[in-house]
Structure 1
Amino acid sequence: MRFTHTLGVAFETHLAEARYADVQQDAFSEWRRKVKRKLRHRAPTPALQGLSGPPSPTGGRLFQTAAVEPFWQRIRGHLERENSARLRSVLSEGVEGVLNQLHPGISWRAPYLRVDTATGPEEIELAGEGLLITPSLFATHPLILGADRTHTGVPALAYSISLDPDSASTIWQEEEEDRDASLRDLLGHTRASVLACVRNPKTTSEISRCLHISNPSASKHVGVLRRSGLVSTSRRKGFVLHSLTQLGEAVLG
């Protein structure tokens, strides 16, 4: 028996389609909204039943690109932390203690591991052939997978983990949103908006209208950004234009 943090992005994608099809308000609601925008209301086919293989090369790949890959680094980190916690528990409570704490639908009574799956209770006899145990973010119920479906040569037990609101808000934040939030923390909301506004060169009046701030306020923020080396100011055809420097472009990403 051994523990691993994930069976991979394709496995989680397979389960994520069923989560996406769910309409309840839960820790995945923000994720569904973001995926829906990406897919432009494409309706996925729920893939929980069967788990016969990886997502289809067309629709499944599109769904994986939109729904899982943008968040995968955080999802994997969350699963790694869960797996590490279980490994620490093995040292203090033993394997039997951990098996009985994985999930309310999983219980151990030697030599059988009882698992309440989505299709009903199943039992695994742990008789030395090995078992791979892994957490899953998108699984709605514990799952038992045969050795032929894990690519590891041993059967696997994937148990669903709960997602608290704080973890959810962190996981569903995308890289671009991260960068924008960090920039706002660094510069302040208005100044960060001014910096983004001058991706295309603008006059002070244009910045003012774009951001709904006064001309003196726009001029003040541009001055700070210019002294910081993020914005340059030049005169073109009688207009004073503000634009990003190379450093400003690098900061915006």
Structure 2
Amino acid sequence: MSLQVLRRGSVPLFRAWRSHVLERLPPRASLLGSLVPAVGWVPDFLTPSAPAFPGTGVFEAIRATPRERLATDVQRLSSHRRPPAWVRQLADGDRDTLDTVADTLAAYHDIAVTPFADRMRAVLDADRARRIDIMARAGIGALLAGLHPHAHWREPVLELPGLPGEGDVDFHLEGRGLLLCGHVFCGPRPRALLNDVDTPVLIYPPLRDPRTNDLVREPAPAHAAKSLATLLGRTRAAVLQALADPGGHTTTQLARHLGISNASASQHAAALRATGLVTSLRQANTVLHTTTALGTSLLSAPQNSSA
């Protein structure tokens, strides 16, 4: 999906990210354009839904794609446009060609995703905390109903907009469940990854805070170092610890939890946010605060004790 954003080139939200990536693309990156259109369906074998991440197996999962699945995906891709000859070699199960695709994807990932992983994680963690809070308070129906303006929950059916140029499709989960996955590069509409092999996945654009829109970080403000220096205060450490709860806390909840005023809770959260340890997501009249990956790492780091 980040490749699709890169190819479209008209998404202001990712302008700085796109410039960064285009300057560093690996030599063979152009071959990925034959598999990934600027809009629409992406071959399923490129998005394995097994719980494997880049460092522990997702590219190996792509390399191990069965020939039958490659043939099916290439056939569907060919129904939209005529692919080059090397893509047809994929359909024949050519392992060297598949290895080239996986190697190129891995090189692209190192440039387009890895340097921005912490920033992406902050966005996704804040969104997940908000969704957990909704589900805990109002149930799964409320979660699905509020997932996205284009998603309509009419129990027991979730209706989603279709892909451009494709008709309506009824898909029955048949007890397999549905994995909800916030995705930074999803685009303005939710997308369903559905087939008869993988876990059904619903990808949706996460709730975003204007302060975390840009994936490419601007230089830290001058007051950030000062904020970090004040982090070691007892109350602020307690705030960081409280915000490590999976669901995070609103400003009011945080104040009540620590026995401090709302103004004080807001001030401490702002200082932690300035140092990259906390992310805040505003929705309506409330602000939900959660720790970032950096904040969680700081809390889990071994602490030196003094005699």
TM range (shorter): 0.5 to 0.7
Identity %: 23
How far apart, in 2, do the equivalents of 1:147 and 1:99 lie?
Answer: 21
- Which of the numbers 177, 189, 211 marks the counterpart of 1:130? 177
Q: Could you say which residue in structure 1 is the equivalent of 2:288? A: none
Structure 1 residue 28: Cα displacement: 0.6
Q: Could you say which residue in structure 1 is the equivalent of 2:71? A: none
CA deviations on 1:112-132 (whole Å, 9 max, x unpaired) are 111114345544445533111
- Which of the numbers 13, 25, 28 marks the counterpart of 2:14? 28
Conserved 8 A contact 2:173-2:200: no
Q: Could you say which residue in structure 1 is the equivalent of 2:72? A: none
Q: Could you say which residue in structure 1 is the equivalent of 2:129? A: 84
Q: Could you say which residue in structure 2 is the equivalent of 1:143? A: 191
Larger radius of gyration: 1
How far apart, in 2, do the equivalents of 1:148 and 1:91 lie?
Answer: 31
Q: Is 1:172 aligned with 2:216?
A: yes
CA deviations on 1:41-94 (whole Å, 9 max, x unpaired) are 964513552342237313222211111111012212311221121011012222
Q: Secondary structure at the match of 1:85?
A: helix
Return closer, same or farther for 1:147/1:118 CA change in 2, 3 Å cut-off: closer
- Which of the numbers 140, 143, 158 marks the counterpart of 2:203? 158
- Which of the numbers 163, 166, 171 marks the counterpart of 1:118? 163
The two structures have a TM-score, normalised by structure 1, of 0.55
How far apart, in 2, do the equivalents of 1:86 and 1:122 lie?
Answer: 27
Q: Is 1:38 aligned with 2:85?
A: no
Return closer, same or farther for 1:123/1:164 CA change in 2, 3 Å cut-off: farther
Q: Could you say which residue in structure 2 is the equivalent of 1:201? A: none
Q: Secondary structure at the match of 2:161?
A: strand
Unaligned runs of 5+ in 1: 1-14, 188-253
2:131 is aligned with what amino acid?
A: R
1:20 is aligned with what amino acid?
A: L
Q: Is 1:59 aligned with 2:108?
A: no
1:136 is aligned with what amino acid?
A: H
How far apart, in 1, do the equivalents of 2:197 and 2:123 lie?
Answer: 24
How far apart, in 1, do the equivalents of 2:150 and 2:190 lie?
Answer: 7
CA deviations on 1:168-190 (whole Å, 9 max, x unpaired) are 23x322xxx76xx4899659xxx
1:66 is aligned with what amino acid?
A: I
1:37 is aligned with what amino acid?
A: E
The two structures have a TM-score, normalised by structure 2, of 0.46
Q: Could you say which residue in structure 2 is the equivalent of 1:49? A: 41
Number of corresponding residues: 164
- Give matches, 1:175-190, under 5 Å: 181=220
Q: Secondary structure at the match of 1:20?
A: helix
1:53 is aligned with what amino acid?
A: F
Q: Is 1:97 aligned with 2:142?
A: yes
Cα RMSD after superposing both structures: 3.1
Q: Secondary structure at the match of 1:157?
A: strand
1:104 is aligned with what amino acid?
A: P
Q: Could you say which residue in structure 2 is the equivalent of 1:6? A: none
**Which structure has more strand as a fraction of its residues?**
1
Unaligned runs of 5+ in 2: 47-58, 60-100, 227-307
Structure 1's consecutive aligned runs of 4 or more residues displaced over 6 angstroms after TM superposition are: 182-185
